[in-house]
Amino acid sequence: MRWRRCAKLAWLLGAPLLAASGAVAATEAMPKAALRVCVTDANLPYANREGGVSGFDLDVAAAVAARIGYRVEPVWTGRAANIQEIEEDLPLARLARDDCDAMFSVPGPASETLRGRAALALGEAYYGAAFELVACNDQVPGALAGLSGRAVAIQSQTVAHFALLAAGVEPRNYFSVNAAFDAARTLEADAALLWGPAIGWRLRMAQVTGLRLRDASYAACKLVAGYEPPAALRWNLHVATLRDRTRLRELMDEALATLRASGELERIARGWGIPWHPPFATTYTREALEALRNAAP
């Protein structure tokens, strides 16, 4: 998420903390301090400012801010079109410059994502996301190995390529998530293996706009039941802050844990079409990726 510079957080100015709830004290007579959140423009389902500020990260940030006594102020950054890779185009430089106070949906591990940015730190994982298998017919098995010899569409230059090769599946490369999904929708490919939040959002839009009713080619498209992404295709997501903002990170971690336990995080995610995963026990590592590469013929 991207947001403009505003007043320093109240906790930096010594605002008292409510010990019972962990929230920052605020009075009705005074405006709440702003939690500046870095977001990327035109980046649904995470954030978007055209046609009204909205997005999953913005909704989560607002729920967190409400619990700790802040209001959200987005600090926007532009992005290149048609790019969906999860670790790219993150406005980490803006966060490091203190242009904003937090950034949501930052993938771990910190040793990879925050490499070379010692001033930044990640909070606790609050949800998981993965490359998901989507198909538009009922003949697609839930395991990648069951697709051996078939063609599966992917966005080019993603780790999905290595996962398919390791399973003996033919990857068909497309420039964007939308193009790869369309290949599965028109049965040009047997299925597609795509970044979950991006394809989930596409499926959600097909539903809410009535495309599934108006166009038969959308009607059968869904995430494949029973599919379990391998470790190299899944990540845990965190809030990133400046490393020295320890108390702010603790407050946000507590708020996110409460929202997850109550089911509110899952409700927000599903509203944006994001396949819901609690934090994974094991996730992407360089070793997991190397194992996929070594397994590929």
Q: Do 149 and 168 meet the contact criterion of CB atoms below 8 Å apart?
A: yes
Least confident of 77-81, 186-190, 278-282: 77-81
Q: Which residues contact 46 (CB under 8 A, 6 or more apart)?
A: 1, 39, 40, 55, 56, 57, 104, 105, 197
Pairing of strands 234-242, 120-122: antiparallel
**90: confidence class by pLDDT, cuts 50, 70, 90:** confident
Q: CA–CA distance from 185 to each of 77, 135, 158, 251, 284 (Å)?
A: 32, 7, 20, 43, 28
**pLDDT reading at 218 higher than 60:** yes
pTM for this predicted structure:
0.84
Cα distances (angstroms) measured from residue 62 to each of 36, 134, 252, 272: 11, 31, 11, 15
Q: What is the Cα gyration radius of the chain?
A: 20
- Report the pLDDT value the prediction gives residue 292, as an integer from 0 to 100: 76
Q: Which domains does the chain have, with CATH numbers?
A: 10-128+234-280 (3.40.190.10), 129-223 (3.40.190.10)
Owner of token pair 């599903």: 270
131 pLDDT higher than 50:
yes
More confident residue, 293 or 109: 109
Least confident of 17-21, 68-72, 127-131, 137-141: 17-21
Q: What is the predicted pLDDT for the residue at 89?
A: 59
Tell me what pLDDT residue 80 has: 52
Dihedral (C-alpha) 251, 39, 56, 119: value to the nearest 10 degrees? -40
